[in-house]
Structure 1
């Protein structure tokens, strides 16, 4: 933004305006004008170019369509007030000044491009795109998931004006997805329909917030989504019995990546394995720490947005995924296999010389040190299943197998969730068997114990 622009039309300025921030009242630090500008303080001039006030780095500049506001609880918020091409004012409230300025820039760019941003005439496709761009706090792979979930919505309603959407349009969208909503022209499955509608409801929440819609038709109580067959529990998940898991382990121990298959059988996800660094492995302490993940990007637009990278590294999916495990407790010899893998990679590096990729610290690499594609790891898992003579399951279902084993052994629920990197409520909703469960049986045992004691007395 241009320093010292625009100028202020002097009206009712406080007497100490030259010594404090005009917006928040914070005292101006000592120093020259140039020194203060380097710190982010900006002079406010009047029409005669006379300095009359200051704004601090934490507050909007004079002339920005942003207001600083303080809630009753004393929390600072920033309100954007944008005049749209229709003449309508759009009011939005943001947690930070950075978010508010980003919104202003986005709306201005849309107006310059001739888009009907935030108006009834804006198309559903444009609103979906704008909503996706606003999802700055989610991981790129999550944003990519939203994009693919919304594709049926865009195919059906993309050119409709947002302001014209009604409840019947939403119902018709669901009917259409149930018959021909897939990209192949066939019916879209219940999980795909639910994902599309969950994302679309959030998109239309933005239209409601901008007062383009009076109510969100996707959240109407009469809208019914198809149910996913089955109930939570092991009966609806694929998993291995424990002896089958050990049979796979015995075969996988002959694989060059035996150590990583051991970690997979300890509950680490593919993203955990692909993002694992040697700095996360303490060979002396016998621990492996999950501190980042590496996932694939499928959409070309997301690959291009990440400078052509087909996989990205980021923080774990949730706070619970940050965890440290001691794999030898479950699979003795795992740390020895990790030592052997590290020694082999050192030999590969000597053999390859300058051709070896040393730009990272990843554990899962090929003979030239390049990161292995996450898809390759899944493909290799299926081949090992065939070699071991066991039923093919999805790589992720190794975690289901561990959960089932822990349920059989009546491991405390909090301990189960901690090993797999879940919250307890997520673990329960995913793995609670429909017929029996450790949690419900433990509760009945405790209640029954109290009942029996009272009867004896």
Structure 2
């Protein structure tokens, strides 16, 4: 075998050592137009050898690099040097990952990868290390927040975990496309203390207890949005409340069909089906909710007559005074205003949903019914996530123990 290392003398007299090695094949292009040449019979691209030229300062270095490349080629682990940056990989992955998903899902991918682009986007992909990924995690946990809270503070463990998962997926794509040899985010973990602190914050965010629900509803009893607040307190998601139409409500049979959602994603209104097949469900309406919906329907008819041509008949249950469909941010603001005027503890509307499901579970409703009511296919998920023991249910447990202990 001929010596692969060639001695070269540069114009300034400097001596270096160079070798050329085949590293695969690539489509052959027309030298004039740059177009990929194809076989006229098969239509397949015409391939040509792809070669890598390596130059080192010493013969020893050149021989070592040549041996390394040959070994990696034989074992299938060789990666052609590339100037691709992390930001370019993010673009590449987003293009592939969002090709056939809903807009809301695509937006969630974009949001997750925005942190990667900001913190690591400038780095060459092949220089990305495990330390860099650890640095991303630490930055997100301590100071990456820009919206949705105080700028410069840390993000939730859930947000960090989602971003880490998307980065791993992007790096797997880079492996498949021969850009890197391994996934440097594969073994990155979120620090245990951060997880403990996050759990403590979640425990502090407790749903309403029965007395708080009753105080809030008593305050809202004469309110235009009384029926809307009730829908938020029977276990429907905010996006489901905003998505329901009057055609989904049977005021005679006393039922409501949950099959659509309406929410806001990055300033864009998104209307779609429920989160899952189990999310599409029929719910029998409690009497108080049914009566409130009948009153709200009649009120909307009066508002329509009063507004005349200015009324927009959207067909939604939850609308403003001019009949216009609303979004989840509109619903949240109205709910928070009423919580403040009712002098009750401010909770997220999702926590109001938790309160409903917890009350049902803690008052003898079978687990399967609670899960179906919530629109979940996983009974265990409902119990782990949505069912919280409240003071009243714990007191009932104490009374039962008293019977046993005498």
Q: Taking structure 1 as the reference length, what is the TM-score of the superposition? A: 0.62
Write the deviation string for residues 122-168 of structure 1: whole angstroms up to 9, x where unpaired: 32222223323332443322322222222221111112222332222
The equivalent residue for 1:279 is: 247
- Residues 429 and 124 of structure 1, relative CA distance in 2, 3 Å threshold: farther
Residue among 109, 119, 122 paired with 1:146: 109
1:254 match: 222
Aligned partner (choices 268, 281, 286) of residue 323 of structure 1: 281
**Which among 340, 346, 350 is matched to residue 396 of structure 1?**
350
- 1:131 pairs with one of 60, 75, 93: 93
Alpha-carbon distance, 1:193 to partner: 2.4
**1:99 corresponds to:** none
SS at match of 2:271: strand
Matched, 1:218 2:218: no
Check conservation: 1:267, 1:419, Cα contact below 8 A.
Answer: yes
- Alpha-carbon contact 2:358-2:388 (below 8 Å) kept: no
Classify 1:285/1:179 alpha carbon distance in 2 versus 1 (closer, same or farther; 3 Å): closer
- How many residues of Structure 1 are paired with residues of Structure 2 in the alignment? 322
Judge conservation of contact 1:234–1:431 (CA < 8 Å) in 2.
Answer: no
Aligned residue in 2 for 1:412: 366
1:373/1:432 Cα in 2 relative to 1: closer, same or farther (>3 Å)? closer
Verify the 8 A CA contact 1:297 1:312 in the aligned structure 2.
yes
Question: Residue deviations 1:249-275, cap 9 Å, x none?
Answer: 222221112112111111111100111
Partner-residue secondary structure (3-state), 2:162: helix
For residue 3 of structure 2, what is the aligned residue in structure 1? none
Tell me the residue number matched to 1:42: none
Alignment of 1:182-221 (within 5 A): 182-183=145-146, 184-220=151-187
Q: Greater shift after overlay, 332-341 or 180-189?
A: 180-189
**C-alpha contact (below 8 Å) 2:112/2:162 kept by paired residues:** yes
Q: Between 365-374 and 314-323, report the one with greater CA deviation.
A: 365-374
Please tell me whether the aligned partners of residues 232 and 432 of structure 1 are also in contact (alpha carbons under 8 angstroms).
no
In the TM superposition, what whole-angstrom CA distance separates every residue of 1:295-319 from its partner, at most 9, and x where no partner exists?
A: 1123xxxx4xxxxxx3211111222
For the pair 1:384 / 2:338, whether they are aligned, the reply is: yes
Q: Is the 8 A contact 1:179 1:186 kept in 2?
A: yes
> Partner residue of 1:161?
124
**Do the aligned partners of 1:323 and 1:421 also contact (CA within 8 Å) in 2?**
yes
Q: SS where residue 288 of structure 1 aligns?
A: strand
Structure 1 counterpart of 2:197? 229
Q: Structure 2 CA distance, aligned partners of 1:388 and 1:188?
A: 31
Structure 1 residues 386 and 274: CA distance shift in structure 2, 3 A: same
Answer whether contact 1:233 1:432 (CA < 8 A) is retained: no
For 1:337, the equivalent position in structure 2 comes to 292
State the alpha-carbon separation in 2 of the partners of residues 433 and 266 from structure 1.
16
After superposition, the Cα gap between the structure-2 partners of 1:178 and 1:353, relative to the gap in structure 1 and judged at 3 Å, is closer
The verdict on how the C-alpha distance between 1:206 and 1:434 changes in structure 2, with shifts beyond 3 A counting, is farther
C-alpha distance in 2 between matches for 1:237 and 1:413: 23
TM-superposed deviation, 1:244: 1.8
Separation in 1, partners of 2:178, 2:331:
48
Structure 1 counterpart of 2:257: 289
CA 1:230–1:8: 2 relative to 1, 3 Å: closer
Quick one: distance in 2 between partners of 1:419 and 1:223?
35
What displacement does 1:391 show? Answer: 1.3
1-side partners of 2:201 and 2:134: how far apart?
Answer: 31
Change in CA separation of 1:162 and 1:273 when aligned onto 2, cut-off 3 Å = same
Which blocks of at least 5 consecutive residues in structure 1 are unaligned? 1-5, 10-61, 66-81, 89-117, 304-309, 439-457
Structure-2 change in CA distance of 1:159 and 1:434 (3 Å)? farther
Report the TM-score when normalising by structure 2: 0.69
d(CA) in 1 for partners of 2:327 and 2:180? 44
User: Partners of 2:357 and 2:340 in 1: how far apart?
Assistant: 23
How far is 1:198 from its partner? 2.1
Q: 2:383 aligns with which of 421, 428, 438?
A: 428
Does structure 1 residue 122 correspond to structure 2 residue 84?
yes
- How has the CA–CA distance of structure 1 residues 353 and 154 changed in structure 2, closer, same or farther, with 3 Å as cutoff? same
Residue aligned with 2:349, SS: coil
C-alpha RMSD of the superposition: 3.6
